[in-house]
Amino acid sequence: MGTSIDAAHTEGTESALSVKKPKVVFVLGGPGSGKGTQCANIVEHFGYTHLSAGDLLRAEINSGSENGTMIQNMISEGVIVPPEVTIKLLEKAIMESENDKFLIDGFPRNEENRAMFESVTGIVPEFVLFFDCSEEEMERRLLSRNQGRVDDNIDTIRKRFKVFVESSLSVINYYNSKGRVRKIDAAKPVAEVFEAVKAVFTPVDDKAAA
């Protein structure tokens, strides 16, 4: 019933996504590194659809889903939600879109996220955009984000930084070892960061012609 995807959907090795075969870019970086901000710019210039894992989870809470309370508690503590929950939301969003290229922002956040997404969907990202920023700068940004988020308080921010270092960095290291990471200095002003992002998304042919 409703909008949730049938549980059996992710139990097999095949998902509808292995048929659609969308082009995917993972957008990673610590909390407050500017993932959402830069994704909005990329959408405007390069025609991708932006899927923020955090936004999808927050929408799931607001939809009154049976998982809502569990997700809410986990976000409030800054910990990572079980991968089957997040992957189902991502799959659904991709299948409902007519686009075939997606920015997946804030996912995969740990090895479990990464391995399950790969085995369920068969999708390997084109590349991984990694926004590198100091904790001091990220903390400043999160404390003035003003989006009313339950996790943008100093206690939860510190927990999220710890989770990033202990669980998320290994995903970036994994893709780095495969030559797929495009690292961006995200401590600069928004426009300067986007100049570096543009260089990553502009095809080599276009750069030569410019």
Ligand X SMILES: Nc1ncnc2c1ncn2[C@@H]1O[C@H](COP(=O)(O)OP(=O)(O)O)[C@@H](O)[C@H]1O
Ligand Y SMILES: Nc1ccn([C@@H]2O[C@H](COP(=O)(O)OP(=O)(O)O)[C@@H](O)[C@H]2O)c(=O)n1
* CA atoms of 208 and 80, how far apart (whole Å): 42
**Strand order from edge to edge, sheet including 49-52:** 49-52, 101-105, 23-29, 127-132, 181-185
Q: What is the three-class DSSP state of 105?
A: strand
How many residues contact ligand X, by CB under 6 A? 13
Q: What is the phi/psi pair of residue 155, to 5°?
A: -65, -50
Nearer to ligand Y, 35 or 50 (CB): 35
Residue 106 beta carbon to Mg ion: minimum distance, rounded to whole angstroms: 6
**Contact pattern for ligand X over residues 113 through 142, marking x by CB under 6 A:** ----------------------------x-
Q: Out of 25, 39, 80, 89, which residue is the one contacting ligand Y (CB under 6 A)?
A: 80
Residue 197 beta carbon to Mg ion: minimum distance, rounded to whole angstroms: 15
Q: Does 107 bind ligand Y (CB under 6 A)?
A: yes
**Where does this chain bind ligand Y (CB under 6 A)?**
31-32, 35-36, 52-54, 57, 74-75, 78-81, 86, 106-107, 109, 113, 151, 160
